[in-house]
Amino acid sequence: MPPISASSPSSPINAGSRPLRIALFGFGTVGRSVARILIESAPAGLELTHIFNRNVARKRVDWVPSSVIWSDDPEMILSAAKDSANAVDVVVELAGGLEPAGSWARKALSAGKSVVTANKKLIAYDGLELEALAAKHNCHLLYGAAVAGGIPVIPGLEHGLAGDRVERIEGILNGTCNFILSKMETGADYATVLAEAQGLGYAEADPTEDVAGYDARAKLAILMRLALRAQVNPEEIQTSPITTVTAIDFSYAKDLNCTIRQIARAERVNGHLAATVRPMLVPQSSPLAWSRGTENMVITTGHYGGDVVFSGHGAGGNPTAVAVVSDLLGLAHGSCRISIPSTPTKVGTELEVPHYIRFLVNDRPGIVAGIAGALAHEKINLNAILQKPGYPLDELPFVVTVEPCRTSALKRALVEIGRMPALLEKPLDLQILEK
């Protein structure tokens, strides 16, 4: 990569005089990739000076220049006096989680050090507070790596779509779930694929954050702030785990020309904001059905510009590191985020979309009549009933699809249906994406 010269007429942090001094906080997969790019590509204006990690001795690698200071004391860097050997301009926070990452970020910003982070949780929960702190201390908070790793969704929203009025976001924001579901599409079952994902390092020993939708929820909250200009409490975004999806659902989905993906979705409907993260039926014709493996994808729908699709590698050391280094270059060049104002907004769940409902029953006369009656009572139109041959009558899966209906009405109907003694388990209710 050729050197990058700071020829911008704006006011870069380092004012062209000396490179930005950078401390990496966290030397795991992403931290190593960031160091690798900074050393290999050596972009002008950036200098890696410190690496902090707990028990740092075990992290040392020989390809890092001897000028870099290794430390397991965060205070040494965070509290360094200006012009001391340990003074840095930027803290790159890659530890993840709310603490101690949040305390480090607050301390750095309060001392006028900019922070670049890939920490979706911290930004989803405390991003606004940290941005205000950065502004107060005349430094910057950048988090292009916090959503969709190496795909420039955040820069695209801030610098390319700020002029639009985005009305909807739909995305695949969790690579682990996409890996699991796109493998299940080919016939594998959940437990087998989860074990494979764990073996490949794509899933944690406890996969809850990913499969329950909490990871994608934090990312969606960030995108909602930037795209829909809504400040939301991530915990108000309703989630539903992918663990309830089985092989039979993929088989029925295929009959409906669909597949199943974990979709993060937020939109403004009739002046309200609805958002959810859950497995959904996705039509094969939608770009969201094309993403395979650990890929991420985001589709924004703008009032003026229509649909824009971003896709690529949403996680992994190198793609995430590209976003971090790009943010560092932005700092070195005096570019800054376009601060898009947002408004505190309550998140609702009321949508009017079609649904797929899979039942598991001990077959007996009257089941369909009972289900149809409960739906009719809520004025929900039944669309199709699908029943594949070859299953035992006392454990029979079958599927009902319904036309677009209000979430609350369907919920009431399902409570009613749930009282039928023939039902062996709670019905699986999946929204169907409409394009």
The least distance separating its own copies from the CB of residue 251, rounded to whole angstroms, comes to 23
Name the residue nearer to its own copies (CB basis): 141 or 263.
141
The answer to whether residues 174 and 294 touch, using CB atoms and an 8 Å cutoff, is no
CA distance 289 to 256: 13
Site for its own copies in 125-164 (CB under 8 A): 134-135, 138-140, 144, 149-164
Name residue 70's beta-bridge partners: 51
Site for its own copies in 384-413 (CB under 8 A): none
Site for its own copies in 228-247 (CB under 8 A): 229
201-215 burial, b if ≥16 CB within 10 A, otherwise e?
Answer: ebbeeebebbbbbbb
Neighbouring residues of 204: CB distance < 8 A, sequence distance ≥ 6: 198, 210
Structure-token pair, residue 346 = 């309550």
219 in active site: yes
Site for its own copies in 295-324 (CB under 8 A): 302, 304-313, 318-319, 321-324
Site for its own copies in 9-28 (CB under 8 A): 9-11
Name the residue nearer to its own copies (CB basis): 302 or 427.
302
Site for its own copies in 169-208 (CB under 8 A): none
The least distance separating its own copies from the CB of residue 32, rounded to whole angstroms, comes to 12
Among residues 241, 276, 248, the alpha carbon closest in space to that of 356 is found at 248
The least distance separating its own copies from the CB of residue 226, rounded to whole angstroms, comes to 12
**4, 56, 273, 386: which one contacts its own copies (CB under 8 A)?**
4
Name the residue nearer to its own copies (CB basis): 67 or 343.
343
Site for its own copies in 201-230 (CB under 8 A): 229
Site for its own copies in 324-363 (CB under 8 A): 324-330, 333-343
Half-sphere exposure of 230 (CA within 13 A, CB side): 27
The least distance separating its own copies from the CB of residue 175, rounded to whole angstroms, comes to 13
The answer to whether residues 416 and 408 touch, using CB atoms and an 8 Å cutoff, is no
Neighbouring residues of 328: CB distance < 8 A, sequence distance ≥ 6: 20, 22, 38, 43, 46, 90, 92, 116
Task: Print the binding letters for residues 37-66 with its own copies: x by CB under 8 A, - otherwise.
Answer: x---x-x-----------------------
Name the residue nearer to its own copies (CB basis): 289 or 430.
289
Task: Tell me if 266 contacts its own copies by CB under 8 A.
Answer: no
- Do the bridges between strand 343-344 and strand 141-142 make them parallel or antiparallel, or are there none, so unpaired? unpaired
Neighbouring residues of 432: CB distance < 8 A, sequence distance ≥ 6: 256, 258, 280, 281, 283, 353, 354, 355, 356, 401
* 3-state DSSP assignment of residue 430: strand
Task: Print the binding letters for residues 277-296 with its own copies: x by CB under 8 A, - otherwise.
Answer: ----------x--x------
CA distance 414 to 295: 34
Structure-token pair, residue 232 = 């939301």
> From the candidates 107, 120, 121, 219, which is the catalytic residue?
219
Structure-token pair, residue 172 = 């695949």
Neighbouring residues of 210: CB distance < 8 A, sequence distance ≥ 6: 174, 176, 177, 203, 204
Name the residue nearer to its own copies (CB basis): 223 or 374.
223
Task: Tell me if 168 contacts its own copies by CB under 8 A.
Answer: no
CA 61 to chain centre: 31
The least distance separating its own copies from the CB of residue 141, rounded to whole angstroms, comes to 10
Name the residue nearer to its own copies (CB basis): 192 or 284.
284
Name the residue nearer to its own copies (CB basis): 44 or 423.
44
Task: Tell me if 271 contacts its own copies by CB under 8 A.
Answer: no
Instruction: Mark the segment that binds its own copies (CB under 8 A) among 33-41, 72-80, 83-91, 241-249.
Output: 33-41
Among residues 104, 105, 167, the alpha carbon closest in space to that of 134 is found at 105
Query: Active-site residue numbers?
Result: 219
